[in-house]
A and B are shown apart, each in its own frame.
Chain A
């Protein structure tokens, strides 16, 4: 569970430099050039293609239960997703998911 100090600082340094380079790419290096449409299209999907892949195992195989399916956690995730898509509001979705999780855990699940 514990993360080594070396790993941590390597990751922070790598992400800091890499993120800055991505942000600087066109502003600083490539300059004022129009990107091809197909490149723009793929860049728009990076977030929705990566994050659900990280989320799904955390939802269906939670760490807290050593990977066994857990109904309160699953329902909390489902409610967060529904409210998030419906309202488009980050905090409202988090609150709805949190309320679902705690009311399920406290009612003995």
Chain B
């Protein structure tokens, strides 16, 4: 088990750069949650239960617009659909672990930590299952804790921030910064542009509906352009 402990620390070390990003990002969520009227306890519970930045920001934004509960949940989960893809990939590495271990692995799936672990497992296919699990939980646990602590700190700060800081616009800026790095291939740009344009055109539709239609069309279009580009090359 000596080596498993080593793997845990290796995962933790590899994830340190993400912690530096996640701490302020969790704070921004906490501040916005406080601005929307959530107390510290609720904001922290939100982050602990869901641990998914994009889905939490999305849900908060839709709730501010008084969207119906089921629309908020459907759109929030739509943002999180990529997690199923991570789950499928992790199943190939960690599928042999006991049920409850896999339940915890699932709870702790985070974008960057997943990418780090997947890369490690691909580079070292001979790693034993306990060693893989140790690395995985190292890569993910600290990031998750920092997301929750950051939220709490942000929620505590939230009510103390003066109006001139124009925090109303922190959410769109945080959203844009989250999506922008993904816009580096033509199909992704087309999908994003389509979604933005259609949601503006469909804005008069009852809230949530325009967004869902825009997202579905953008999704199919992006995937189709990728398929055709792949077929050509």
Residues of B within 8 A of A (CB): 20-21, 24-25, 28, 36-38, 42, 45-46, 49-52, 54-56, 58-59, 61-64, 69, 72-73, 75-88, 90-92, 94-95, 99, 102-103, 105-107, 109, 164, 166, 168-184, 187-188, 191-200, 203, 210-211, 214-216, 218-220, 222-223, 226-227
Contact = CB atoms under 8 A, between A and B. Distances in A.
A58 B57 CA distance: 13
A12 B46 contact: yes
Contact of B38 (A8, A13, A50): A8
A19 B175 contact: no
Interface residues of A, number: 73
A101 B167 CA distance: 10
Contacts of B75: 50, 54
Contacts of B51: 19
Q: Helix, strand, loop or mixed for chain A's interface?
A: helix
Interface of A: 1-3, 7-8, 10-16, 18-20, 22-28, 30-35, 38, 40-64, 73, 76-77, 80-81, 83-85, 88-91, 93-94, 97-98, 101-102, 105
B219 A94 contact: no
A60 B58 contact: no
Contacts of A30: 88, 91
Contacts of B197: 56
B95 A27 contact: yes
State the 7 A-B residue pairs at the shortest beta-carbon distance, nearest first.
Answer: A84-B180, A16-B49, A53-B199, A93-B177, A24-B106, A56-B196, A49-B218
B17 to A, nearest CB: 11
